[in-house]
Structures are given as structure tokens and as C-alpha cells.
Structure 1
Amino acid sequence: MKIGFCITSHGFGHAARAVAVMQALAKRESVEFVIATTVPKWFFSQSLQAPFNYHSILTDIGMVQLTGLEENIPATAAALDTFYPLTRSKIEACAAFFSQCRMVICDIAPLGILAAKQAKIPSILVENFTWDWIYAAYEQKSASLRSHIDYLDHLFQQADFHVQTEPVCLSIGCDCRVPPVARSIKASAPALRSRFSQGSDKLVLVTMGGTNRDSFSSVGVRAKKGYSFVVTGNEGPTINDGNICYLDRCSSVYHPDLVAAADIVVGKVGYSTLAEVYQAGSVFAYISRPYFPEAEVLCKFAAEHMASKQITREAFYSGRWAEELDDLIALKGQAFFPVQENGAEHIADFLLRLA
């Protein structure tokens, strides 16, 4: 059975959520996946054991970023103007990839919805937000967003089935609502801990959703005794520098395993990072995105359901957050609501009922 996935390339978070669903499907059935996105192929090769066909195609705009924490609204609006409305040639080209598929799962690229319609197969929208809801928060900064908000709202409503994943930003009627969705853990935590931590050091993972090491300040970190640090997103080979490992962005080290091995995860509050930390039960020191509307929802979930603490952007960029490591470690094992079953399992069951 072939199943299609049309995935936005806004960061790696949506691809990570889609991969989690693929992993759950592959445990249940013999499946071949057809993937359309510009998220790099290695990201899927690293996570999937099931066969897949990869097509590098721009499926969505998302947000143009100035940094991992700041959006460029004028550039986003300009990019949207060039991409939408979707042309027949774009829709037909994408539909051709999915012609042999049983269905198309869209996270959260609406091109997949129209491509599925063109291919005469069901479309399933998987989301915790849609782009029309995101863009509405920036409309005062760019009036040209209004036409895209209305257009995308219309496209998203054309999905045949609708799945929402917690934490949900805008709760509406849907066909299936599931707990947080995270890629499965593969390796044992002790094996990775011994690889990256020095002796009995506590292990701290620093992840900013793919941004490179220039965003990371070693001030305060290098001198912190009793802690080893792994910083993801290095543009170039992995570098070991004292108690800090700058990990190659394309490293074969599987990110959910690193999350599970870490005592503390420090990073931008994004969906896949939050879901993977939640699954692993690590402490989460999270940095909010001040204007991105999803961030408020994710921060609320972290505060209520996870051993966590918010740190400021200023503290992160200056390295002052290292002063709080002992307090963060004290949160480990703190009693919070029990982790529910991985939402990917629920989605897989739902999809196979449709198949």
C-alpha cells in the first residue's frame, strides 16, 4: 500500500510529526511512502526503515525567518504573493507523485489537499494550527496577508478528513483529536549518555530547530562543572570542544534518542521539540517566540504538563541560562500529568480504518 505525504518545509517540526505517523503506520502494515517536500531527504532516511519515494518540491511557504525566533513578515507576504494562488500546473505536478497512493496526508501544506482531489483520492489534514490562523496574527503588520488568509482557509476546509494534534491552537470540529505526536525512541539512553557526557556529568541538549551554532553562546557553559552539552545544528562536521559537542546538522544521531538521553533540553519551543521532550520525560528549558501565536499555546502546555521552565532570549544568547542548570536538574522527576500514548499511534489507526 502506498500512502502520500505532502509536508510544509517550515522548519523540521512538521516533517518530524509526519515521520512519527509513518513510523506508526509501518508497524502495522507493509507501506511505501511517497513524500513531497523540500525538507532534506536525509531527514527521512534517518528516521524511517520503511521504503519511501522522495520528491523535492516546494509545497508551502510557511514563514520566512530572520532568525530561529523572529519572523520576517514583509518577506513572508512577498513569498506568499509569488506562490498563491496555486496554479493548475503545480497541482497536477504534485498529483502525479500521488497517483498510485491510497490517500494523501497533509502537514500542513494545502497543496496536498488539491493534489489529492486532482488524483481522486482522500486527503487528510493533520495540524495543531493552520497557516490562515497564524497569518491572522500578523495582519496589522501586512494588509496583503488578508487575501492569503481567506484563500488558505478555503483550501484547508476542502480536506476530506481532519486530524488535530495536542496542543491544539484553535479547537474546532474534527474527525480525530489525538495526544502530542512524537517520533519513536530507538536507542537506549545510557548508550548515548556515555557517548556525549564526560563521566558522571549531567547531559544538556541545546536545540534551536536547525539554526547553527552562531546562535549559541558558550559563555557560562564552558565553565559549568558537572555538565556536558550537545548543541545541534552545526554547519559542518561535528566538533568536540571541551565539555561541548557541536553536532553536525546532518549527523546520523537520531534526535529523539538525544532528547531521551538528555537530563535537560534547552531550546526554542516548537511542536516537535516539545512533543519529543514530553515523550521522553526530560526537563524542558524553553525559549518562547514573542510574536508567533503558536508559542503561547505550547508554553502553556509545557508549564502545565511538563517539568519545565521558560528562559528568556536574552538569557539564552548571553549564556546566563547556565546559571539555572542546578535548579533545572532539581525539576527532573517532578510529578506531572502522566504522558498519554503517542498520538501517532491513534492517527495510524484512524488512517488504516479509512484505507
Structure 2
Amino acid sequence: MAGVPSVLVSNFSFDTILDALDGPDPEVVAAFRNLYAHVSLLLKLPGNVGMDRWERSGSTPVEPMPLVARTCRRSRDDVRRELHLPLDAKCLLITFGGFQMATDKVGIDAATALPDGWLGIVVSAQDLECTPPDRFRIVPPNSLFMPDVINASDVVLGKLGYGTCSEAVAHGVPMLYVVRPHFIEESGLLDRLMRPHGVCLELARADFDAGRWASSVLAVRDLARSQPPLPIALDGAERVAQRLVALAQDTLAPA
């Protein structure tokens, strides 16, 4: 109504997410699509899903952007020193993007969770029972800058979300992931980001719940060595900012 342009910078739209769920509310999906119809410009991020309909409709300009990803601020060795980890140790990072692994107390046994000689970094606010405790470091959420921790790790175990995937790709760290049923964003991240530009393998939910991670950790580490990913530009944040500035200048220019 004010004539101010609106820009969507994303790898998905919420109508696509909701439409893929079991029994979505058609009115809610339609409401989202009506709102998105007023977007002035879509800056499409890598790993996108459901964005093809925007391009088919032709009603909203669509421009692909490079990867927007946070990158580390501190060196790998510096972060390891803070976590009291040997600089040459192999480390598995377990993180679920702010979500807890379970609502009850979780136990992790290094005998099945970690390959021989590996250490674990667990991002959790829970009271975890790790056996033996000296093979694990518990890191409370937000206590460290997550790209620093990813860069200090050798493999990431977690869920497929844009933040974790983009940061794993940006730092060249392979990833084990646990599928979230009916969450359509994962298909875009897998097909259009992780598989071409990263290294990833699925960890079956039964194996995750049982703490049987070690063999999959080694498998994705070996895959990273045998199949290096395709390069991807990492200047997405700068490109998006430049595009927004240009749009603002056009809007403010005298008629």
C-alpha cells in the first residue's frame, strides 16, 4: 500500500513447506501464496525447493544468488584449544540447529557412536550422559559461534537445514544427516546444494536412535576423500546486499 518494494531472500516459501505436510490447511496455503504474490523480487538461494513455480508464473522477477553462509571468525586450532581438544584429533560435531536430540536424558556411548580414536563435540543444553566422558565435549547452544565449531570438526551429524548445510559446504566439512519426514526443504538442500557442492550421507533413524554412528562417520569421511564436491561461490551475502542497495536507489530516484 505504501509503494515500498519487498524482497524475498530464501531457499523456500512457506506455502511449499505447508503443502508437503500431511493434511495441510488449504486456506492457510492459499493465504501464504496470496501474500507472496505481492513480492517485488525473489533472490533465490542455492538449495532451493518449490521456486520453479515463481519462474513459471513470470509475475515476480527471480534472480539466483551465490551461497549466503556464515564463515568462521577464529582458526580451527584456536577453537580446539578452547574446547581442550588435541589439535590433531578427529572430531565429530553433533548439532541439531537449536533443537534437542530428545526430550528425555540422552546417553551417548563412544563405543558405537565414535570411530576408534575420535572425539565428540555435542551442542546441547541437556544433561547428557556420555561414556566415557573424556571423549566428549558438551557445548551449550550459543556459547560459541557455530561456523567456528564446524570449521574445527571433521564430520557434522545433524539435521538438514539451510544454516548447517551452508556452513558445512562453506568450510568443506562432510555431513551425516537424519531425515525429518514430510519436511520438503530437505529435498532442495540435498539435490541442489549438498550433493553437488558438499558431501553427505543419510544416517538411518534407527541407527541414530541406537547411537550406531561410527561406521557412517567413517563412510562419509571416506566419501569426502574420494569424491570432492563441485566448487560454489561464497559471496552471496555481498551480492544480496548490492542488489538491495541498487533496488533502494532505483526506488528513491526521482521520476
**Quick check: TM above 0.5?**
yes
Please state whether the residue corresponding to 1:186 is helix, strand or coil: coil
CA distance in 2, matches of 1:179, 1:149: 28
Q: Deviations over 1:16-41 (max 9, x none)?
A: xxxxxxxxxxxxxxxxxxxxxxxxxx
Q: Taking every aligned residue pair, what percent have the same amino acid on both sides?
A: 25
Within 2, Cα distance between the matches of 1:337 and 1:305?
Answer: 5
Q: Aligned with 1:246: secondary structure?
A: strand
Aligned to 1:201: 89
Divergent runs of 4+, >6 A: none
Instruction: Indicate if the aligned counterparts of 1:206 and 1:231 stay in contact, CA closer than 8 A.
Output: yes
Aligned counterpart in structure 2 of residue 190 of structure 1, from 77, 87, 90:
77
Once the 2 structures are TM-superposed, how far is the Cα of residue 323 of structure 1 from its aligned partner?
2.7
Pick from 7, 14, 37 the counterpart of residue 124 of structure 1: 7
Match of 2:228 in 1: 335
Q: Against the structure 1 CA distance between its residues 352 and 236, is the aligned structure 2 distance closer, same or farther, given a 3 Å change threshold?
A: farther
Matching residue of 1:230: 121
**1:206 CA displacement:** 0.7
Residue 156 of structure 2 is aligned to residue 265 of structure 1: yes
Cα 1:235–1:249 change in 2 (3 A) is farther
Residue 124 of structure 2 contacts residue 141 of structure 2 at CA under 8 Å; is this kept in 1? yes
Residue type of the partner of 1:190?
D
Q: How many residues align?
A: 233
Q: Pick closer, same or farther for the CA change 1:199–1:191 going to 2, 3 Å.
A: closer
Distance 1:223 1:152 in 2: 43
Q: Which runs of 5+ in 1 are unaligned?
A: 1-116
The TM-score, its normalising length taken from structure 1, stands at 0.60
From the superposition, tell whether residues 132 and 259 of structure 1 become closer, same or farther in structure 2 (CA, over 3 Å).
same
Question: Contact between 1:222 and 1:243, CA under 8 Å: does it hold in 2?
Answer: no
Distance 1:285 1:213 in 2: 15
Amino acid at match of 1:352: V
Q: Give how far 1:249 is off.
A: 1.8
Q: 1:178 aligned to 2:100?
A: no
The 1:249–1:304 alpha-carbon spacing in structure 2 relative to 1, beyond 3 Å, is same
**Greater length-normalized contact order (CA 8 Å, ≥ 6 residues apart):** 2
Instruction: Tell me how large the CA RMSD over aligned residues is.
Output: 2.5
Shift of 1:176: 2.2
Q: Are the aligned partners of 1:198 and 1:243 in contact in 2 as well (CA < 8 Å)?
A: no
- Determine which of 19, 36, 46 is the counterpart of 1:136: 19
SS at 1:320's partner residue?
coil
**Which of 230, 241, 248 does residue 348 from structure 1 map onto?**
241
The 8 Å contact of residues 213 and 234 in structure 1, kept in 2 or not, is answered as no
Quote how far apart the aligned CAs of 1:166 are: 1.0
Deviation at 1:222, TM superposition (A): 6.5
Using the TM superposition, give the Cα deviation of residue 207 of structure 1 relative to its aligned residue in structure 2, in angstroms: 0.8
Distance 1:341 1:180 in 2: 5
Give ranges in structure 2 of 5+ residues lacking alignment. Answer: 56-60, 249-255
Question: Quick one: distance in 1 between partners of 2:204 and 2:113?
Answer: 20
Please tell me whether the aligned partners of residues 113 and 213 of structure 2 are also in contact (alpha carbons under 8 angstroms).
Answer: no
Q: Do 2:47 and 2:190's aligned partners in 1 also have CA atoms closer than 8 Å?
A: no
Change (3 A) 1:289 1:150: same
Question: Mapping of 1:70-89 within 5 angstroms?
Answer: none
